[in-house]
Amino acid sequence: MTASVPPRSAIAPEYTWNAPSVFPTPADWEAELQAIQADLPAIKAYQGRLAEGPAVLLQAVDALQAIAKRVNIVYMYASMSYSVDTTDQVAAARYNRAQGLYGQVMAALAFFDPELIAIGEPTIRRWLAEEPRLAYLEHYVDNLFRQQAHVRSAEVEELLGLLADPFSGANNTYSLLTDSDLKFPPAVDSQGRKIEVTQGTLGHILDGADREARRTAWEGYADQYLAHKNTLASTLLTSVKQNVYRMRARRYTSTLEMALSRQNIPRSVYDNLLAIFKKNLPTWHRYWRVRRKALGVDTLHPYDIWAPLSQQSGPEVPYQQAVEWICAGLAPLGEEYVSRIRQGCLVDRWVDVYPNQGKSAGAFSYGAHGTHPFIMMSYTNSVSSVSTLAHELGHSMHSYLTWQTQPVIYGEYAMFVAEVASNFHQAMVRAYLLDQFSDPAFQISVLEEAMDNFHRYFFIMPTLARFELEVHERVERGEGLSADDLINLMADLFAEGYGGEMHVDRERVGITWAQFGHLYVDYYVFQYATGISGAHAIARRILSGVPGAAQDHINFLKAGGSRYPVDALKLAGVDLSQPEPVEAAFEVLAGYVDRLEQLTAK
């Protein structure tokens, strides 16, 4: 018997993302793409004119924001269409065309920052004071001149803008290889039955009770990546070299400095996180021991990390029930907040819900100023899927409230704060479920979800962050790296994290870096760990009844990109420039381990 994944055409429309709300037909998308191309000369006509005064600057800002909004919608539509079915060749071609247009628009807008710098900060600030309609640009101007030393001439900026399309090649190749071309052998359960393994079904197999199914799924999945290790190493190292190129073109001393500087994040935030993570590795070592004893196995393997700890199967949670639980958990944020979520999930079709053949791995929330915040996921009626949906809805509400409040120029929030809103949702829903359902098996299921979440964000991601930093630094020094070098480095880091409590299959564990497309966005992964820390700090304020805490959080969500990320989080009462939130998150983790140990011992 083979459990199969349906083709895209078999998914009921009500469980697919609402593409017609963006463009009624692909022909309308095509018309808008061509219209944007036709309008680019009018944008470039502002080049060389900004110094004429505040009136021209106002016109240019309005025009640039308008075309940026339009191209973002065109790009988003193409990206979502491709992500939900990477085997759709028409969608793939549309996505490639959108990438090309995006690069053209970025090149056309590249004159803006260099011209403002040439005009000078005193003059620009005087114009902002003279023309009230420009006053909202104060943060943008502050951020621009803060980074003035790294903004190049208009000609160089144009060239760097044109690199957006060709430099996307490494990530595109990775995505096509892993989402479309890699075909995984079926898992085989303890009864000899075959189970189809895809990017969308692997997680469901790994959190199942059948150990043989888990082992064969995990090993077969890793082996396919190992079979392509040289290609995957080449694409990743190409991406790293592109980061190093940008670093040198913009005159930074390191890729990490470049990444942190964009968001005005102190280097100490990164260093503190990794230091606290290493110091608290014994908490993870204790969790592996608890898990091994609960499962009753002599040796714990990586494919046991997600295995259910209760002999009773976890509850089946239909999609509609998940939405109601999420809304109940978020009730402290007010009826307006939760009704928007319910409407988005059940009426406006924000969510592309179920697995289908060719669907991209994982889950994400994506949209643009002027569209719904859409979610791509593979819902499997499990507590884990409830958590994933809650997580992505956190991103969606962050985007929704930002777009409702901020202009286009501040419509994108920094990656550093992105994972706060999402993990906050999970923390709130988890607290609600633990409070409302006393059944030990259900409690174990919820705590398992919590540990899965912390494992991803507070174990995998910091480990990948250590890996990423080391790889970048080696490339910056001009050292050569092979696929085997990457595998050995990754295996060493995981061995330290497992602390002798888990069997380390060095090849299969070592290829983990190839299974995370996050590494194609430089220094993204560490922000998952800081994000979960900030999220639990905010949830603690609200659940403990701090006056105004819920509104503080909503104010943070509405800020979007109008403040530096560390400052935006201070609106919610959290200071991630200090180590305390990270330390406190490890206390939460330790508490979950304690609770699991007590429940499983019974």
User: Which whole-number Å values give the CA distances from 130 to 125, 135, 158, 438, 518, in the listed order?
Assistant: 9, 9, 30, 62, 44
3 state DSSP class of 173? helix
Residue 219 among the catalytic residues: no
Token pair of 422 as six digits:
């999402």
DSSP secondary structure code for residue 314 in this structure: P
User: Which whole-number Å values give the CA distances from 463 to 492, 502, 503, in the listed order?
Assistant: 10, 16, 17
Count the Cβ atoms, other than its own, within 10 Å of residue 437. 15
Ranges assigned E (strand) in 545-602: none
Strand partners, 366: 374
Distance, CA of 507 to CA of 492 (rounded, Å)? 11
Rg of the chain (C-alpha set): 24
Token pair of 84 as six digits:
């939900």
Residues in the chain: 602
Q: Which single residue is written with the structure tokens 């307006």? A: 336
| Cβ atoms 325, 433 nearer than 8 A | yes
Token pair of 461 as six digits:
């991601």
Token pair of 8 as six digits:
């895209």
User: Which whole-number Å values give the CA distances from 227 to 232, 514, 596, in the listed order?
Assistant: 10, 11, 38
Token pair of 393 as six digits:
């809805």
User: Which whole-number Å values give the CA distances from 315 to 359, 383, 384, 430, 602, in the listed order?
Assistant: 25, 7, 10, 15, 20
Distance, CA of 203 to CA of 23 (rounded, Å)? 33
Q: Return all residues near 456 (Cβ < 8 A) that are at least 6 apart.
A: 528
CA dihedral for 546, 550, 551, 557, sign (positive or negative): positive
Set 392, 448, 449, 476: catalytic member: 392
3 state DSSP class of 415? helix
Distance, CA of 497 to CA of 493 (rounded, Å)? 6
Task: Indicate the residue type of 532.
Answer: I
Percent helix, percent strand, percent coil in the chain, to nearest 5: 70, 0, 25
User: Which whole-number Å values give the CA distances from 432 to 65, 215, 446, 483, 572, in the listed order?
Assistant: 41, 33, 10, 45, 21
H or E stretch covering 556: helix 549-559
Q: Are strands 2-3 and 194-195 parallel, antiparallel or unpaired?
A: parallel
CA 411 centroid distance within chain = 17
Distance, CA of 121 to CA of 151 (rounded, Å)? 14
3 state DSSP class of 99? helix
Distance, CA of 587 to CA of 602 (rounded, Å)? 23
**Catalytic positions, please?**
392
